[in-house]
Structure 1
Amino acid sequence: LCDLLSHITDVSCSGPAVTGEFGHVYEQQYAVALFNSVRFEIEGGGAPQSQLLHRKNPLEDRSIFSGGLFQYLEENKRWRNRFVFVADTYNISFYENKMAHERSLRPKGTINCAGYKALTSMEEYLELISTSLPGIKAKVGSGQFVKCATQFPLILWHPYARHHYFCVLTEKEQKKWHAVLQDCVRHSNNGLSEECRVQTPAFTDAMRLHRQAQGHYGTWDMMCGGPPQILANLVMETLHPELRNLIGPRLKGKIQQRQRNWMLISEAVYKQVLSQTQAQYEALVQACEVQTSRLDTVLRTDMDQIITSKEHVSGKIRALVLPRAGQLLRGSVQPFLSSILEALMEPTSRGFSEVRDVFFRELVEVSKNTLNGGGKDKLAEHMEKISMLAFHPVKMQSCYEKVEQLNLEGLQQRFDVSSPSVFIQRAQILMREQMDNAVYTFEHLLHQSLEGKVQGGEDLCKTIHCCQDRVLKKYDYDSSTVRKKFFKEALLQIIIPYMLKQLSPSFHLDLPRFQELIFEDFSQFILVENVFEEVVLQSVTKDIMMAVKDAAVQKKHNLYRDSMILTNSDPNLHLLGENPSVDWATQFRGGNEEPEGALGGGGQSSRRRRQVVSMIQLDEMGPLPYESCLEVPGVDFIPEEGEIEEVEVKAQEPKEQKTPTEPDSPDSWPYCFNTIFLQCMTSA
């Protein structure tokens, strides 16, 4: 045991070495990113103006979903009922029961879903487990170490961190929870904030350059979460194989026990690495920010000279690189451009088209109900349901599924694309943003049209249709602009790493001599390696722009041509976006009552949150035990189609075994290793 622990400690020491190397690259890229930010601020940059309004804080005073699940507790190998709450941050918190949540007690645990995958079958899970520890494969039904309490499991899998096991009583619950969990993962994997114009590009460029120095080009699935999480994933990318080779052969016992032990070790090491990267990243950012004021002064004083110096160096590097880059482009990239673009465009365009259809169907339903029910009171009730449409994972699931058909098979190996998931999740996030922009714009246009006017059912429908048509035209334009930008960025993500991988060895020895052409005072803002990548980027940009432009001519993709400019028919529309979101319940129903089933959260016990996704509520069924989703009172915010239906199969209630004392926390190192090695020694 002591020998093995010492080996793990020695291997774990590689973590600070990795983060130290990254820190040096980050400090260099921080100055470059600051230069680019100040230059953009001075020179400005144009982009197509969006036609739709954008909501700054759409989930204010909202929660996503909550309900009861059965959770598997690793420390005592038992299933317990838990009340699960998904806040507007998309973090998943689970409590002892619903009352504990309503009293704002501390949750039993919280899951940040960055880097996770949401699974609904044990077959998928065991396949991923087998790839984590090669040579140890278990079959479903062969006494796996997690035996589900019901036939409807929900599993959150992570390559390094703790796995979480849940299950529910019906297939309907499983589908809804799976959509919610997928949305949590999607949101957490959405990358770093673009509002940080210095820290974000500095971090992403430093991460990319560091991995390229290790020979890793192309997309990376674990570039998700916050900077400390991404850094921990970077360390584990090197550390995990070493641990596996060291510990794998020493694990004893049955297959299931060896898998369990390996997962606990991996989790414990990952937690230690994450705690280190958190502290190291904070120290790194603080050290760079101390220099910001001085660097900013130099930049604003000598900006013209720095730009001139950079252009001079770029010209020299361009003359050296472009002939070889052009040859590579013509022979190995251009023949595949159209096929890559088609693979990206077809499912993405179907997804955006489905967003439009879902939005249209919801508005048609509002018109029908308003016409039948009459009055603004009924309209306000339905508009409350529509307002959070973009953040309703079940309603948006049909849109997301269209993009999940994106397949780069045949191109992944050639261009070193690890998986299409990076592009799928990005497209899904853009779809959600466009849906919310359309809904938000429709709300403001409708509210402006109705303000101070008395209208009956037919007049209301005409007003709704008028606003609907205006918004759909704006959506068509904006979705075209967003998709074309997405296609260009995706093509660059696929092609540029491939070209760098082919070209870098050829110019590796020639590039350092260009650093001598840069004044010493400007050398921290102009790095030859960055200039080389910019030259490679420029060499392929024209071909990518032309490929996307040609694709816009094809009607099947519903793209606007670049020459077509939509005139702004609502010159004062963007002024409406400065107004707060419309509170339909207060203004048109005159009520301040809390919606049924609203849940408190985040310590705001006096201000209750409205929930985006409704609970499941079935007819002819009494309350089920263990606080399953089925027994929680329904929330009528956006009920799904077919929400009320009969259940033919009654689920079995899992037996709960009580223990006289609570075990040690499974998050602690002593608990993990004591449990693992005592079991290993006993088996031996």
Structure 2
Amino acid sequence: PLLRFSGSSLLCPQLRGPPDAALHDGLLSQYDGDSCSWQENYFVLLGDFTLRWFESEEALRKGCEPRGSTALSGYLLLSSPSEYAASLVGLCQGLAGGSPFADPPGEFLFFLYHPFRRHFCFCADSAGSRRIWRAALRDGIRYRSTELQRRDSPEAEAFLEAVQFYRQERGRYGAGDLLLGPEPEILGNVLMEDLLPLLRSQVLPSIRGSERRRQQLWLQFLQEVYALILSEISGEFEGFREEREKLQLELEKRIRPDLDQMLTLKDQIASKLQAVVQSPAESCCGWGVEPHLERLVEELVRPVGSGVEAVRSLFVQRVDEMIGLVRSSPVAVLQEELLTLGRASWQPEVMHPCYEEADLYRESLRGLEERFGFRGVTSLVLGAQNLM
């Protein structure tokens, strides 16, 4: 591919999005809830961060249909059975705890958890395989979960604010983890949040069987309800999107002649509101916010700064290695090394040490949860990792 030089920057068109080729693939043992047994499947993480699984590598090479697939938006990657069991406690209220799966075939376990979608219990054949898979899946979760935030458009911002206002009207604040993924999934998450208390009170008591069986049926029921809701919302949202574009054009035609007058009126209203709220707001900030502001900024900036420093160190190391090749290698080798350096951001195992720095948010923001009722740490962590 051609390289484009612009000042001191080096850009490759192919590096502006995820690569088309598979990011990672290999065999994993997966727990099947229907048969209550572990089955070996061949998993492929595609360049668009969709996870697919096949009966075998041969089935993949022959072009057979996958056994299943899932987008990774909204998932949480867990590292131990205890973490997974703890995540199920709130979701399965009223059901006794205990291991949700039979004896695993090995010790290298990891889990993909989503409150309303299929759960994945994996077992790798080695610590190295688990490490690589976790790094790749973590990248996929980050990329797919921040799809809306990365658009950085007025429409996306307005949508997120509308969802937040909807939840606030019902007395629910924070929980930014529900606002991850594309629009239909976010709407589905919020609707499931509304329905969950009703489903717990009316459906959960009617489920019979052993505790493990009841837990399994309850999770399957939630997944089926969510899939149905998501299907309906996706269809409706596509229709709304087309209608919105037409309405937007009509609205622009209507307001353009009066735009200057509207802006003047907006400034007048803003001035009046400022006169009313400025003094109380300054007083509130003076005693409730400003004393804590310096510590808050430090806690928020520290993980980002550490991550950026890790990226810088990685870049310097790779550049030093390439400098050593300049005199002893042909131009073609140097070009290949430059492309490899450019692809580093799409190599999860290479970037994992940098992304780990952002996980400091999870610890440093616990104080904010207690002091200010802050929630939704995951969205902040993913956003910080996107900056890297």
| Shorter-chain TM-score above 0.5 | yes
C-alpha distance in structure 2 between counterparts of 1:171 and 1:246, whole Å: 43
Residues 471-620 of structure 1 mapped to structure 2, 5 A cutoff: none
Amino acid at match of 1:382: E
The 8 Å contact of residues 145 and 260 in structure 1, kept in 2 or not, is answered as no
State the secondary structure of the residue aligned to 2:111: strand
Amino acid at match of 1:73: D
| Deviations 1:66-118 (CA, angstroms, capped at 9, x unpaired) | 22222223332333322212122111111222233234333221111111111
Q: Rg: which structure is higher?
A: 1
The 8 Å contact of residues 20 and 46 in structure 2, kept in 1 or not, is answered as no
State the secondary structure of the residue aligned to 1:253: coil
Confirm or deny that 1:210 pairs with 2:210. no
Alignment CA distance shift 1:60-1:346 (3 Å): closer
Q: How many residues align?
A: 378
Amino acid at match of 2:84: Y
The 8 Å contact of residues 219 and 422 in structure 1, kept in 2 or not, is answered as no
C-alpha distance in structure 1 between counterparts of 2:10 and 2:337, whole Å: 21
Pairwise CA distance, 1:123 = 1.2
Residues 44-123 of structure 1 mapped to structure 2, 5 A cutoff: 57-123=16-82
The 8 Å contact of residues 147 and 181 in structure 2, kept in 1 or not, is answered as yes
Amino acid at match of 2:54: Y
Confirm or deny that 1:408 pairs with 2:365. yes
- Find runs of 4+ consecutive structure 1 residues off by over 6 angstroms: none
C-alpha distance in structure 2 between counterparts of 1:249 and 1:200, whole Å: 39
If asked which structure has higher relative contact order (CA below 8 Å, sep 6+), I would say: 1
| Residue of 232, 247, 270 corresponding to 1:276 | 232
Pairwise CA distance, 1:228 = 0.5
C-alpha distance in structure 2 between counterparts of 1:362 and 1:311, whole Å: 52
Q: Name the one with the larger helix percent.
A: 2
Pairwise CA distance, 1:181 = 0.9
| Residue of 265, 275, 296 corresponding to 1:319 | 275
The 8 Å contact of residues 304 and 357 in structure 2, kept in 1 or not, is answered as yes
Alignment CA distance shift 1:380-1:346 (3 Å): same
The 8 Å contact of residues 145 and 257 in structure 1, kept in 2 or not, is answered as no
Amino acid at match of 2:89: S
State the secondary structure of the residue aligned to 1:150: coil
| Deviations 1:130-165 (CA, angstroms, capped at 9, x unpaired) | 22122434345xxx4343222112211111111112
Pairwise CA distance, 1:60 = 4.4
Q: Which residue of 2 aligns with 1:382?
A: 337
| Deviations 1:527-581 (CA, angstroms, capped at 9, x unpaired) | xxxxxxxxxxxxxxxxxxxxxxxxxxxxxxxxxxxxxxxxxxxxxxxxxxxxxxx
C-alpha distance in structure 2 between counterparts of 1:199 and 1:73, whole Å: 40
The 8 Å contact of residues 191 and 223 in structure 1, kept in 2 or not, is answered as no
C-alpha distance in structure 2 between counterparts of 1:183 and 1:374, whole Å: 33
Q: Which residue of 2 aligns with 1:613?
A: none
Alignment CA distance shift 1:194-1:132 (3 Å): closer
C-alpha distance in structure 2 between counterparts of 1:269 and 1:139, whole Å: 25
Amino acid at match of 1:245: S
State the secondary structure of the residue aligned to 1:410: helix
| Deviations 1:340-396 (CA, angstroms, capped at 9, x unpaired) | 11111122211110000011112222333555x532243244334323111111111
C-alpha distance in structure 2 between counterparts of 1:355 and 1:244, whole Å: 46
Confirm or deny that 1:421 pairs with 2:378. yes
Amino acid at match of 1:85: V
| Residue of 287, 297, 303 corresponding to 2:259 | 303
State the secondary structure of the residue aligned to 1:266: helix
- Name structure 2 gaps, 5 residues minimum: 1-6
C-alpha distance in structure 1 between counterparts of 2:366 and 2:339, whole Å: 43
- Name structure 1 gaps, 5 residues minimum: 1-49, 432-684
Alignment CA distance shift 1:227-1:146 (3 Å): farther
Alignment CA distance shift 1:53-1:210 (3 Å): farther
| Residue of 89, 109, 128 corresponding to 1:172 | 128
Q: Name the one with the larger strand percent.
A: 2
The 8 Å contact of residues 218 and 415 in structure 1, kept in 2 or not, is answered as no
Deviates more, 1:80-89 or 1:333-342: 80-89
Confirm or deny that 1:349 pairs with 2:308. no
Alignment CA distance shift 1:191-1:323 (3 Å): farther
Q: Which residue of 2 aligns with 1:136?
A: 95
| TM-score when normalising by structure 1 | 0.52
Alignment CA distance shift 1:382-1:58 (3 Å): same
State the secondary structure of the residue aligned to 2:187: helix
